[in-house]
């Protein structure tokens, strides 16, 4: 028996366990949050339930998917076998330990809970960095400081919770959102032109270097201004202009790809729809700084529930098929999952303005749509992720 055959399929590539567990965790954590909002259960996790929900959707769910994607994509980028086997098992166990302590660690020393939770991202950065350095693939080395900056944001959230300083929790959370938005913009900018051309049989749209530089440069600047705590010191009009420029540039990047040609390809229209939430979220921040009646919560949820939720589900569905040697043809029910996560985001964004008298009911509807979408992925892709590649290749 070869070493590959002796290895459990779930441990053959990082996307297998992290996508499956991340999707299940997302559905479970959101379900618990909905039961708390409805008043049907009382939850007493580490610190408090609001902190737990905010933290776990970013550093439990989103971080797991980012790491699963990067430690899978690096195999193509570096041309060498990526993290698998025992190393991958250690990484997954660290992630699981963090989730368990965040939910059940209320009676433990806060520094212990924080230390275990904080270990996941630097360990992933070490694995990723070792692979790209060994292959001389320095172009993708910048993902290492991105992962470490995410760890710093995580640490800021823990520090704020321990010191009972809500503003520090929000500071860490918001900066993490800017970093993840930056990752989404970089990755979608790389893959969407190729995916769109291949999936629709249309000519590939070549990027405009100046547009990419301005779009990504605006996001880097937004992150830097917030991370260095300079944004509150700037005139609101200047921030509105910066966010407006960022929104316009990111919208033009997506518009150039002709999203209307993707409507018959679920793995494409779902990615395009999610990507459109990036300029939409940035536009909401611009409107907020311009003095319009836009809450920060809504602007944030456009980037989290809309862009992150939609892009993660679509990318997981695509990567899980492609990297297990299967045709890029998801189960028809997966298309319903893409619709449901889109509905979840739109309901969450519209409810505060259109239905302020029934917020809890509409939030529960959004949560039900989200949970259904991610449970659909988990159930439909369990056989894909837990079985060997049909072509017999490693991974």
What's the whole-model pTM score? 0.95
CA distance 171 to 229: 9
Q: 89, 51 in Cβ contact below 8 A?
A: no
Question: What is residue 293's DSSP assignment?
Answer: S
Query: Would you say residue 1 has pLDDT above 80?
Result: no
Sequential DSSP letters for 39-88: TS-----SS-HHHHHHHIIIIIIIHHHHHHHHHHHHHHHHTS--S-HHHH
Model confidence at 2, pLDDT cuts 50, 70, 90, reads low
Helices (H), 58-202: 63-78, 85-104, 110-118, 120-135, 143-162, 166-200
Please give the Cα distance from 300 to 308 (Å, whole number).
11
Question: CB of 245 within 8 A of CB of 289?
Answer: no
Q: For 12-34, write each residue's pLDDT tens digit.
A: 999 999 999 999 999 999 999 99
Mean pLDDT of 87-91: 97
pLDDT, one tens digit per residue, over 32-72 is: 999 999 999 988 899 899 999 999 999 999 999 999 999 99
Give the start-to-end residue ranges of the domains of the chain: 1-164, 177-388
Rg of the chain in Å (alpha carbons): 20
pLDDT tens for residues 213-263? Answer: 999 999 999 999 999 999 999 999 999 999 999 999 999 999 999 999 999
pLDDT for res 376 = 97
């Amino acid at each position: 028996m070869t070493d590959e055959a002796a290895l459990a399929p779930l441990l053959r590539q990082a996307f297998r366990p992290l996508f499956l567990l991340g999707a299940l965790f997302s559905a479970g954590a959101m379900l618990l949050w909905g039961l708390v909002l409805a008043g049907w259960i009382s939850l007493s996790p580490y610190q408090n339930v609001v902190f737990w929900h905010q933290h776990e959707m970013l550093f439990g769910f989103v971080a797991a998917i980012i790491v699963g994607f990067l430690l899978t994509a690096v195999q193509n980028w570096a041309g060498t076998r990526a993290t698998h086997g025992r190393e991958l098992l250690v990484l997954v166990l660290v992630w699981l330990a963090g989730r368990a302590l965040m939910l059940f660690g209320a009676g433990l020393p806060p520094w212990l809970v924080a230390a275990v939770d904080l270990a996941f991202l630097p360990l992933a950065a070490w694995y990723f960095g070792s692979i790209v350095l060994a292959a001389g693939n320095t172009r993708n080395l910048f993902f290492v400081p991105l992962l470490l900056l995410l760890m710093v944001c995580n640490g800021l959230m823990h520090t704020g919770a321990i010191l009972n300083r809500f503003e520090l929790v929000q500071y860490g959370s918001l900066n993490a959102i800017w970093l993840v938005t930056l990752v989404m913009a970089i990755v979608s900018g790389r893959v969407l032109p190729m995916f769109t051309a291949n999936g629709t049989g249309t000519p590939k749209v070549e990027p405009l270097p100046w547009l990419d530089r301005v779009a990504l440069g605006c996001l880097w600047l937004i992150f830097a201004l917030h991370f260095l705590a300079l944004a509150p010191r700037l005139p609101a009009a200047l921030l509105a202009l910066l966010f407006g420029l960022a929104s316009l540039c990111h919208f033009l990047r997506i518009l150039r790809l002709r999203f209307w040609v993707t409507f018959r390809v679920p793995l494409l229209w779902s990615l395009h729809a999610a990507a459109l939430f990036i300029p939409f979220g940035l536009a909401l921040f611009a409107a907020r700084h311009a003095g319009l009646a836009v809450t920060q919560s809504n602007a944030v949820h456009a980037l989290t529930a809309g862009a992150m939720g939609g892009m993660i589900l679509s990318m997981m569905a695509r990567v899980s098929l492609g990297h297990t040697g299967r045709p890029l043809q998801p189960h028809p029910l997966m298309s319903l999952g893409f619709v449901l996560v889109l509905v979840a985001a739109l309901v969450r964004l519209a409810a505060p303005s259109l239905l302020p008298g029934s917020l809890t009911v509409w939030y529960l509807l959004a949560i039900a749509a989200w949970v259904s979408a991610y449970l659909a992925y988990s159930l439909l892709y369990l056989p894909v992720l837990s079985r060997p590649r049909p072509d017999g290749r490693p991974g």
